[in-house]
Amino acid sequence: MNQKPSLGKRLLAAPHLVWSALFIIAPLIMVVYYAFTDGNGSFTLSNITAIPDYADTFVLSIWLGLLATVISLIIAYPLAYFISQSKLPVQQTMIMLVMLPMWMNFLLRTYSWMTILEDNGIINTILTSVGLSSLRLINTRGAVVLGMVYDFLPYMILPIYSVMVKLDHSLIEACQDLGGNKWDVFSKVILPNSISGIVSGITMVFVPSVSTFYISQKLGGTSTQLIGDVIERQFMTANNYHLGAALSLVLMVLILVCMAIMNHFSDGEIETGRISA
Amino acid sequence: MKKFFSLITAIVLAFGALGTTVFATGTTEALDPESLRGTTLYVYNWGEYISDGSEGSLDVNKEFEDRYGIHVEYTNFTSNEDMYAKLISGGANYDVIIPSDYMIERLIKEGLLAKLNFDNIPNYRYIPEEYRDLYFDPNNEYSVPYTFGMVGLIYNTKMVSEAPDSWNAMWDEQYSGEILNFNNPRDAFGIAQFLLGLDINSENPDDWQAAYEKLSEEKPLVQSYVMDEIYNKMENGEAALAPYYAGDFLMMVDNNPDLAFVYPKEGTNVFVDSMCIPANAQNKEAAELYINFMLETDIATANANYISYGCPHTGVQSNPDYEWVGNEILYPESVDFKTDYFHNLSDETLSLMTSLWDDLMVEGGNNTGVYIALAVIVAAVIIIAVVMAVRKKRRANIDD
Amino acid sequence: MKAKKNTLLKIYSALIFLFLYAPIAVLIIFSFNESSSTAQLTGFSLTWYEELFRDAATLSALKNTLVLAVLSSLIAGLLGTISAVGIDSIRSKRMRRLTKSVTNIPLMNPDIVTGISMMLLFVFAGRLLGRSGVLGFPTMLIAHITFCLPYVILSVLPKLQQLDPNLAQAAQDLGCTPFQAFIKVVLPAILPGVVTGIMMAFTLSLDDFVVSYFVSGPASQTLPIRIFSMTKKRVTPDMYALSTLLFLAILLLLILINFAQSRNEKKAKRS
């Protein structure tokens, strides 16, 4: 008796499965297909063997992405904790303030960093007007990392906040009752309970940072070509879809490996939902 | 006064008509624009390359829409190569495109352009003789010239120690970090080739390798590789030197009088950008109507005034409203340096150039530190993983 | 001691909010700039707000963006809810895990890979069908639905799992058809999840640039794409004006929502 509705219900998953097959699986198959063929459609490994030429670029992208992720985490964690400990109305307002920038177009927000960082930009104007010498801020790797941190910081704050707000206060009290000091409270209660938020925050900052091309184009100079830039160029300018597909494939595999390593550390459980707050 | 102008126009018209009799022999009826009302026309053009209504100029596309009831979907590309990639992807159809000479040669060779029906473009009579039968379209079948010009060196007089007269200035270390260069391979390689005295259309791989090495040598000094981003950077004094198209300089100097322009002595590239219709255009008649519209003297003058490139149009040249007539940068009286057109390259050379360009883009910067840092991190992750695994095992053993 | 720590944290948060809002402040200030420069302030004017309403291309891009966001979030909401019910009823563990991992792919994949993989598919399909010019509004809609779907599913699924399966059964025992049972019992219980999912989908679709960049055609320019092509030459401050207006609209909306929420909470407390 329980089986019958269940069959009908299970059929409800069918549209999704068809959709996934058509628009998630098939496109990935296309990437693989393009990566292993040449312009005439015949099989080739030359796209894959060209990848080592881009090793530097991959390494640089991962490095800058990693830096941005770590900095975001360091900035976001105390803030998320502070927000979660505030009174409810304050909490709501602060979360709103964190989310609000996400509604502004990120291209424009990044662009306005140019106005701030340029040689004749706001910071340097202030510096020179108080008699200091101006700094070269834009067109550096630092500017690119800054752009990444800036653009993706909310994606780190929100998931950490959303696990911290669920944290049971009696756990902290229990730890204190058992003679734990502040460090114990942090390392034995708060940190382990916020791992899932941290992991999803890391994912949501690392993945877009590694693959960005816009931020590096606007804020980076000539020495910050990221893998996203190379891929974009293959499709939009160089008209070499096959190399572009091969690079995307490698990028995808690299990111999946990174994610797998991280999930291994956190035992699964990822807090999904960017604005689940 | 007005009469006088119309008299001139009439003379020009009559004069132009002589040259176009060849095209007037077609027997087909002139196209009826009414039948195209309500259709959409896809126009794909360079950025800042049409009078768009800003700063009190004429909004050319809107004018076309209002007159013919044809909706114009106007989008921009930033380089010939970008345009080609979009066109050949099959993802998008366009009705009118405005590529440069060498790209037109390539598109014709690959069968990607449609032959124009000049019966629908009577205003072709305004195109002067010297801009017909150009090398990329020797029989005048596929293209209608829109602009012409040369590449030169723009510099900020307040930021350079002495006025440059050579491409060499872009390799001058005192301007490190204040030099811009083209973000498209053909123009960037062209500069290195002129500087090295090489043929810009060389089919010899060694020449391209040499040009690549020259650019590679310059890269540490370059602030960034740009196309139209150059406007903001030069106008705001963010960069001292940049090669770009002469016409754009005239727009920039309007906003920053410190800028100056020179045609370097080693020579430079001459180009003609022409209106074409892709072979897979869906609205060819409207496209021809548009091209004809763009050649109307008033419209062409508005465009020529706004984009300030050289204008191959007899009507514009004699129009008193034309601002740039006789401008020495656009129409230099004597050219005492080498000039050359880009030609389409063979497939082998093209792919060599593209891959050298890719190498140039990704190389540079000192990455040893990055490698070391990443290695340390990977090692740390492995150690932590091992420690954690050992601990887990120990705990499991204790539990047992 | 505690007060001191609190002030420290307050200063810290203030600094971070300063960091988050500095570029936005710059953007708003420059929207009132007199000249067209986005680097030097010359004087106060409202020119760019007037200019904005004359800029047909920007307004049509805004319209495209909104239509796309509304359509894709609603379709993803409907499809996602149905799928979540279906996935929830799958009993085989292996099958469940497989479905979930496939659903998660667009979440894990970099946007650039999602974008180009879909573009390759569309272009390839177009070539098979002998058609060119396939990229346009429909392809963008498909792409947006695809990356929105997982968010809807993942916000509906937990609600379904919290639901007592006997409830729907009871409703059916009382004479409801399965469909009626779903509408009357299941839907109200999962509605908050559905709404959250649709809201997320809407936000993501509105802000998406990377995926749209690869799958859009000439006639389907959205605001982010238009902004991108502008940043390739000059960004005119009317874009800043538009962003300022959007910013204010969203700020107002969020304040209203907050206000309504806190009033509801007060009411709930009283009763």
CB within 8 Å of chain B, chain C residues 2-41: 37-40
- Per residue in C124-151, pLDDT (tens digit) is 999 899 888 899 999 999 999 999 999 9
Range of the domain at B51: 2-147+273-325
The per-residue pLDDT for B30 is: 66
All structural domains of chain A, each given as residue ranges with its CATH number in brackets, are: 54-266 (1.10.3720.10)
Partner-chain contact A264 B219, CB within 8 Å? no
Chain A residue with the nearest C-alpha to that of C208: A105
In this structure, the answer to whether residues B101 and B224 fall within a common structural domain is no
Q: Per mean pLDDT, which range of A157-166, A259-268, C95-104 is the poorest?
A: A259-268
Residues of B at the A interface (Cβ-Cβ below 8 Å)?
79, 81-82, 84-86, 88-89, 177, 184, 219-220, 222-225, 236-238, 354, 357-359, 361-365, 367, 370-371, 373-374, 377, 381, 385, 388
Given a contact cutoff of 8 angstroms between Cβ atoms, the answer to whether A69 and A205 are in contact is yes
The per-residue pLDDT for B26 is: 40
Rounded to whole angstroms, the Cα distance separating C247 from C100 reads 35
A1 pLDDT exceeds 70?
A: no
In this structure, the answer to whether residues B97 and B30 fall within a common structural domain is yes
- Per residue in C17-43, pLDDT (tens digit) is 999 999 999 999 999 998 888 877 888
**Which residue has tokens 């653009």?**
A151
Whether A6 has its CB under 8 Å from any CB of chain B: the answer is no
| C-chain residues near A241 (CB < 8 A) | 120
- Per residue in B113-145, pLDDT (tens digit) is 999 999 999 999 999 999 999 999 999 999 999
Per-residue pLDDT of chain B (400 residues; tens, 9 = 90+): 444 444 444 444 444 444 444 444 444 456 788 999 999 999 999 988 999 888 788 999 999 999 999 999 999 999 999 999 999 988 899 999 999 999 999 999 999 999 999 999 999 999 999 999 999 999 999 999 999 999 999 999 999 999 999 999 999 999 999 999 999 999 999 999 999 999 999 999 999 999 999 999 999 999 999 999 999 999 999 999 999 999 999 999 999 999 999 999 999 999 999 999 999 999 999 999 999 999 999 999 999 999 999 999 999 999 999 999 999 999 999 899 999 999 999 999 999 999 999 999 998 777 888 899 889 988 998 898 888 888 888 888 876 6
Q: Enter the pTM of the model.
A: 0.91
Chain A residue with the nearest C-alpha to that of B381: A261
In this structure, the answer to whether residues B250 and B205 fall within a common structural domain is yes
In this structure, the answer to whether residues B277 and B139 fall within a common structural domain is yes
In this structure, the answer to whether residues B35 and B126 fall within a common structural domain is yes
Partner-chain contact A101 C17, CB within 8 Å? no
ipTM confidence: 0.90
The per-residue pLDDT for B398 is: 75
In this structure, the answer to whether residues B138 and B163 fall within a common structural domain is no
Banded pLDDT at C88 (limits 50, 70, 90): confident
The per-residue pLDDT for A274 is: 38
In this structure, is residue B345 part of a structural domain?
no
Given a contact cutoff of 8 angstroms between Cβ atoms, the answer to whether C226 and C10 are in contact is no
Number of domains in chain B: 3
Contacts of B18 (CB under 8 A, 6+ apart): none
| B-chain residues near A225 (CB < 8 A) | 361-362
Rounded to whole angstroms, the Cα distance separating C224 from C210 reads 9
Query: Which helix (H) or strand (E) segment is B61 a member of?
Result: helix B60-68
Domain residue spans in chain C?
A: 57-239
In this structure, is residue B330 part of a structural domain?
no
The per-residue pLDDT for C135 is: 93
In this structure, is residue B338 part of a structural domain?
no
Given a contact cutoff of 8 angstroms between Cβ atoms, the answer to whether C247 and A104 are in contact is yes
Q: Closest approach of chain B CAs to the CA of C16, in angstroms?
A: 27
In this structure, is residue B336 part of a structural domain?
no
Nearest 5°: the CA angle B317, B322, B328 is 75
Partner-chain contact A63 B88, CB within 8 Å? no
CATH 1.10.3720.10 fits C57-239, yes or no: yes
| A-chain residues near C89 (CB < 8 A) | 6, 9-10, 12-13
Partner-chain contact A30 C21, CB within 8 Å? no
Partner-chain contact B219 A222, CB within 8 Å? yes
Rounded to whole angstroms, the Cα distance separating B134 from B126 reads 16
The per-residue pLDDT for B29 is: 55
A interface mutation test: which of C112, C114, C156, C200 has the most A CBs within 10 A? C112
Q: Identify the burial level of B45 via C-beta atoms within 10 angstroms of its C-beta, where 0-12 means exposed, 13-18 middle and 19 or more buried.
A: buried
